[in-house]
Structure 1
Amino acid sequence: MTPACKTLKQRKIPYDIHEYDHDSSCTNFGNEAAEKLKLNPNQVFKTLLVTDGKNTFVAIVPVTSTLNLKRAAGAFNVKKLQMADPKNAERLTGYLVGGISPIGQKKGLLTCIDESAKAFDTVYVSGGKRGLDISLTPQDLLAACYRAIFANIREE
């Protein structure tokens, strides 16, 4: 049981586990999950860490999109953002890149979920390790993440 699953269980937030065989040569983790679990890729969200140089934030966007750093900066009320260093992301979250869950991270980081999640009854995010996704409602994802908000932060 990953920290993400433990957190959801402790908070009594309903979720389902979806496991698949992760191909170690694959680096496009979100698309791999969508493909192997036969899911609509617009419902599968990736967890990205960004920084303004002082603070680190969590941005959650569909695997079919890229993160718009300017919109994300506006959502977090900072001037400018850049992608966080992967080693720093692993240290702050306690998860390995490719398996970073937005839930149950080691350090509470302000989180923004792309508003497109609200269009679905269920969304999928990493469960805390490669080859493990969890599904839950967008509102439950919002409740499970640290000080989370919805905003338009994706770019098609």
Structure 2
Amino acid sequence: MSVGTPATQFLRKADIAFEPVQYDYHPGQERVALQAAEAVGIAPDHLLKTLMLEVDGHPACVVVPGDRTVSMKRAAAAFGGKSASMMPSDKAERITGYRTGGISPFGQKRKVPVIFESTAMAFTQVGINGGKRGLILLLSPEAARAALDARALPLCAEN
């Protein structure tokens, strides 16, 4: 499958192995990450969602399991800030160059700091958005983290 996005170009340039998987994206669903995990055939905690935040007014990116909720308190602390909130969709689209529902941590238009949820590093393979709606990239979470020069810290609220 020849799928070209800034995310796949970024990974190819970094020599990171990945497998692209396309699925039928259904906008407007309440839990898009869970729908994507089911469509791709992986466990919901293995499908990592990419969320754009504002930490003390500065853009930041977190990559967390699709079945978990980010603790804004933990996220702020992880980035060395006092407060964190979800970035408005229009701003996230301008900064990343991707449409909401297709935001990838790879190949963003503007480089921002990225932190992965630490529990995701325990998996052999995860799915991460490939830069367009309906495209998931299967790859090693450690390779993904290293390619982005990201850290892995606890970011999610306790279940």
User: Where on the TM-score scale, by shorter chain, does this alignment land: which range?
Assistant: over 0.9
* Selected match of 1:97 from 81, 100, 112: 100
Q: Which runs of 5+ in 2 are unaligned?
A: none
- Find the aligned partners of 1:152 and 1:88 in 2 and give their Cα distance: 25
- Find the aligned partners of 1:97 and 1:24 in 2 and give their Cα distance: 10
Instruction: Look up the SS of the partner of 1:5 in the other structure.
Output: helix
Work out the number of aligned pairs and report it. Answer: 155
**Per-residue deviation, 1:131:** 0.6
**Per-residue deviation, 1:89:** 0.3
* Selected match of 2:129 from 126, 146, 151: 126
Q: CA RMSD in A?
A: 1.2
- Find the aligned partners of 1:49 and 1:70 in 2 and give their Cα distance: 15
In structure 2, the residue matched to 1:153 is 155
Distance 1:79 1:53, change over 3 A: closer
Cα distance per residue 1:114-145 (max 9 Å; x no partner): 00111100111100111100011111111222
**Per-residue deviation, 1:54:** 2.9
- Equivalent residue letter for 1:140: A
- Equivalent residue letter for 1:104: G
In structure 1, the residue matched to 2:14 is 11
In structure 2, the residue matched to 1:135 is 138
- Find the aligned partners of 1:8 and 1:141 in 2 and give their Cα distance: 8
Instruction: Look up the SS of the partner of 2:145 in the other structure.
Output: helix
Q: Which runs of 5+ in 1 are unaligned?
A: none
Greater mean deviation of Cα atoms: 15-24 or 87-96:
15-24
**Per-residue deviation, 1:69:** 0.6
- Equivalent residue letter for 1:148: A
**Per-residue deviation, 1:65:** 0.5
**Per-residue deviation, 1:52:** 2.6
* Selected match of 1:88 from 72, 88, 91: 91
**Per-residue deviation, 1:24:** 3.6
On the 8 A contact 2:51/2:61 being kept in 1, the answer is: yes
Normalized against structure 1, the TM-score is what?
Answer: 0.95
Normalized against structure 2, the TM-score is what?
Answer: 0.93
Cα distance per residue 1:86-107 (max 9 Å; x no partner): 1000000000000000111000
